[in-house]
Chains A and B, each alone.
Chain A
Amino acid sequence: MHSATEMLKRYTIVLLLGGALLLVLLLVLGLGDLAVASTDAASTQAAESVEAVTGASSQGAPRLSEGDYPDVGVSSRSLVWLVAQLHLFFAALVLAVPIFVLVIELIGIFSSDDRYDDMAHEFMKITLTSYAITALFGGALTIALVLLYPDFMSYMTRVFRGQLLVYPVLFFLESLLLYIYYYGWYAMRYGQRKWMHVGLGLLLNFVGLALLMVANSWSTFMMAPSGVDAQGVVTGSMWEAMAGHLWNPLNIHRFIANIAFGGAVVGAYAAFKFLNASTAEDRAHYDWMGYTANFIAILGFLPLPFAGYWLTAEVYAYSQQMGIMSMGGILAWTFVIQAVLVCTILFAANYYLWTGMTRTDGADRYQWLVKYIAIVMVLGFLVWVTPHNVIYTVAEKAQLGGGHHPILAPLGIMPAKNIAVFLMLVFTFLSFQIYRRADKVITVPWKNWGNALMVCIYLVATVNIIFAGVYYGYYTNTVYKVGSSVMQVASTVVVIISGVVIDTLMFKGAEKMPVTWGRVSARSQYALFALPVVFTWLMALMGYVRSAMRGHWHVYTVMRDNSPDNYVPTLAYVGNMVSLSTVIFLTFLLFVFWVADLSNVRQIKPVASGLVGGDAR
């Protein structure tokens, strides 16, 4: 037990470090804005003088023609698209991993189990290698944008002004903290020093979050410009340009999505190591590591639909046209693909949990539930991917008696899909719950009541999700359809929260059955490989949708895109771009895994005979 004074000291250190960082950030932002304000005042005065003489204003967004875009022989949009996507993949990984590494580090401290600490360190190793690649793609993106879209970049620079100084400062701080955090891991492993290390981790995450938010502000400004007037004339401060209508919804969405993505990637690393492991000890370690990473990925994934829902609702609130463009217009089919991808993630996550139950003999008690969960998942998938209408031949149309299938068409609209999605989430949680229960024998005297309560909650939530979807979706006006989602979200959240609370109380004093880490099939590890492949593809696809819903605007309604690539491309083209960026990312990722593994290899000193020595790990 630590004394209260000692604990106080530790928290003071952490708080002081966090406070110092916030102060630095505020100063940098504030000074940037002050400098900008004075520059603005001077430039406004100068512009007014020019306007007085020439009668023209040059402060708005530039109106470009096709000739204003440099022609490099290949599609500029495709080049920027590819580089930006790769930068985003690695940036997401680099910013996400330290978040859950810090949490794992804290678990290690409070449980006094060094295994957690070692695992957290191993996760960071992947981040460190990825960091340099992130910076390389970031630099390439900047060069590509400046070379290929010079006028657009010039305008964005004018809007964001002082932020261009803040970003490198944050990047510098991130690098500094990342290196100290990783290389200082074992130098600050115990006692007071460990808390210093935790403080560094906290600072690292603060800076990472600030970087994420700064980068997001450019994307959201392009979708929902703020701090400028209808002609693009800068009327507000840098802060006003940043804090646009969609900024926070995107911040939250990307923050959560990054955690899920990061978890999936490190899960693949664990699976890679598991399949290559030669000893039972290594298999056990990497099995446990894979399980933890999968847990993190799914924990990040479950709230993602809610964050996505909020972002989409805000897009509709900002511009109904932009919303309809994405979900009811030319991009609508991408949401059917999204359904396929999300279902693949849920299938992989569930399959991993079901196969993982073989680690303990206690799983036999719950195996019977698996087939019912599988049925719900398959039915949910089928409903989710049912389109509202498809292209029929004339003969087919005549046979159907219209453009819509009489039975399947009702399954193609959102209320049916919402029912499917929320039931799939609820039953994925059930898989997780039986997995957690598999190695425990509950002993509390009220266990039957507790189980009955849990069954009731599942039943009520299922009925509620179906009723809300059917009633609001099919028996009320379109404008009330959105109301069903609130009830469905609430039902899903109630199941998850009450499930965790009831289980936590029921697990008190429970008998633990032995868990044999490493006793899983090699096939189960492919579920861990499926997750990053699907997450990566999904991230690229939905990132494209978010960007494409602006249509032919660099900055929506303010700066028109008149480049040769200003049209919305076909889905096949999008599929090619998304797959290409995913392949390149995964190839780099294999390199990262290989490099991380290489650092464990020690060459044995050659013997005197001159023979080259082998490797030792």
Chain B
Amino acid sequence: MKVLIQICSFGAAMLIAFTVTMYSLPQRRGEVPPEPKAVDLSQMTMGDFVALGDDLYRNRGSCPLCHNDLGRAPDLEAMDVVGELEKTLAKPEYKGEAKTVEEYLRESMVNPSAFVVKGFGKKGSNDTESPMPASDAPPAQLSATEIDAIIAYLQDKDGYKVTVTLPEASKEEDKSTETASAAAPAKPPEFAQTPEQALAKYACGACHTLGKVESVVGPDLNTVAQRLSLAEIRESIIAPKAEVAEGFPDIMPDYGARMSVGELEMISQYLFQLGDHGSQASGNTLPEEQASNSTGDHSSS
């Protein structure tokens, strides 16, 4: 009996140690992206369409999962996409069928192996086969309209003219789908009710460190109040190019035309109040963390 008690205690001590280790790690629940649902394409402006592309790019498309600065795929957010692609199209090595940047982007999403950028092919394929799944197939399963929206976003982000045409409401044959959050601009605008909702709606955590989610694309928002006043925070959201933080790329979109005044105020106040309490606030699970979790896009070991 003594031996039994000893070995049981020994085993229990090990199990407690392992479990406590699990408890000591960051606790996040990975939320599930909403099921795609039909979208009303009427009254959609080009700004809405670009915003839809932005949302699809980050969430359902999970593009930043690979297109980031880790070298898995070209870093689309950091590069001048249209400028670079114009050069690629002019090169004799280009083997695809696209003639314009728009066609190139569409081809690379629907048929990623049509042309693989040197060094980004599947291992052993000598850059003839792309590891990227076709965007119109699962898991992303984007419709033609959604692919157009991402193209619009990629053209717009660096200030180039958007060449894709807006989807027509009468195009009933186009079985366009969209996430619930992205559908908002097409309907009477649904304003965020809380700062957390607003931060999630505009995917601030995709580029900025916020709460527990880290991102090095933009400055850390947990500590923004230590650097900026409330007015400066407001200004940096509605006119981000007015003053770009040192060491960061000038890529933040202008949210002045997209945000409601209420949302802007909520976000500004929230970030300002984080201040020195940023670490405590980061203990809460913010909606954008959940969105990030669902794409699995966070850095760790």
Q: Which residues of B contact A403 (CB under 8 A)?
A: 209, 214, 216, 220
Report the interface size for chain B: residues with CB under 8 A from the other chain: 61
Most buried by B among A329, A336, A340, A566: A329
Whole-angstrom distance between the alpha carbons of A391 and B285 in the complex? 13
Q: Are A394 and B226 in contact (CB under 8 A)?
A: yes
Q: Is B139 an interface residue (CB 8 A)?
A: yes
Question: Which size class do A's interface residues fall under?
Answer: 35 or more
Q: Which residues of B contact A482 (CB under 8 A)?
A: 123
CB distance from B189 to the nearest CB of A (A): 28
Known: A230-B138, A320-B133, A394-B276. A329 touches B298 (CB 8 A): yes
Give the nearest-CB partner of A398 in chain B: B223
Q: Are B19 and A579 in contact (CB under 8 A)?
A: yes
Q: Is A567 an interface residue (CB 8 A)?
A: yes
Q: Are A389 and B15 in contact (CB under 8 A)?
A: no
The tally of CB-CB contacts under 8 A between chains A and B is 178
Contact residues of B: prevailing secondary structure: loop
Q: Are A391 and B26 in contact (CB under 8 A)?
A: yes
Q: Which residues of B contact A340 (CB under 8 A)?
A: 18, 21
Q: Identify which of residues 551-570 in chain A touch chain B, using a CB-to-CB cut-off of 8 Å.
A: 551-553, 556-558, 560-562, 566-570
CB distance from B180 to the nearest CB of A (A): 15
CB distance from A381 to the nearest CB of B (A): 13
Q: Are A333 and B25 in contact (CB under 8 A)?
A: yes
Q: Are B139 and A571 in contact (CB under 8 A)?
A: no
Q: Which residues of A contact B212 (CB under 8 A)?
A: 391
Whole-angstrom distance between the alpha carbons of A556 and B293 in the complex? 18
Whole-angstrom distance between the alpha carbons of A325 and B295 in the complex? 7
Most buried by B among A397, A561, A566, A571: A571
| Interface membership of chain A positions 387-423, coded 1 if the CB is closer than 8 angstroms to chain B and 0 otherwise | 1110111110110000100000000110001000000
| Partner-contacting stretch, out of A127-135, A190-198, A442-450, A530-538 | A530-538
| Partner-contacting stretch, out of B42-50, B62-70, B86-94, B232-240 | B62-70
Contact of B66 among A320, A331, A336, A413 (CB under 8 A): A320
Q: Are A575 and B297 in contact (CB under 8 A)?
A: no
Q: Are B18 and A330 in contact (CB under 8 A)?
A: no
Known: A336-B301, A397-B223, A570-B29. A556 touches B139 (CB 8 A): yes
Give the nearest-CB partner of A557 in chain B: B138
Q: Identify which of residues 64-89 in chain B touch chain A, using a CB-to-CB cut-off of 8 Å.
A: 65-66, 70-72
Q: Are B296 and A330 in contact (CB under 8 A)?
A: yes
Q: Are A387 and B301 in contact (CB under 8 A)?
A: yes
Q: Is A69 an interface residue (CB 8 A)?
A: no
Q: Are B18 and A320 in contact (CB under 8 A)?
A: no
Q: Is A157 an interface residue (CB 8 A)?
A: no
Q: Which residues of B contact A582 (CB under 8 A)?
A: 15
Q: Which residues of A contact B296 (CB under 8 A)?
A: 321, 324-325, 328-331, 551
| Interface membership of chain B positions 117-146, coded 1 if the CB is closer than 8 angstroms to chain A and 0 otherwise | 001101100000001110001110000000
Q: Is A319 an interface residue (CB 8 A)?
A: yes
Q: Are A479 and B62 in contact (CB under 8 A)?
A: no
Q: Is B28 an interface residue (CB 8 A)?
A: yes
Q: Is A477 an interface residue (CB 8 A)?
A: yes
- 4 more contacts with CB within 8 A, not counting A391-B26, A478-B71, A479-B119, are A329-B297, A340-B21, A567-B32, A569-B30
Q: What are the nearest 7 A-B pairs in CB distance?
A: A329-B296, A575-B22, A568-B30, A557-B138, A478-B71, A332-B300, A325-B296
Footprint of B on A, CB under 8 Å? 230, 271-272, 275-276, 316-317, 319-321, 324-325, 328-333, 335-337, 340-341, 344, 386-389, 391-395, 397-398, 403, 412-413, 417, 477-479, 482, 526, 529-530, 533-534, 537, 551-553, 556-558, 560-562, 566-572, 574-576, 578-579, 582-583, 586, 590
Subset of 24 A-B contacts with CB under 8 Å: A230-B137, A272-B3, A324-B296, A329-B65, A331-B296, A333-B26, A341-B18, A403-B216, A412-B301, A417-B301, A478-B70, A479-B120, A529-B10, A534-B14, A551-B30, A552-B32, A557-B139, A558-B138, A561-B32, A568-B29, A571-B22, A575-B19, A575-B23, A579-B18
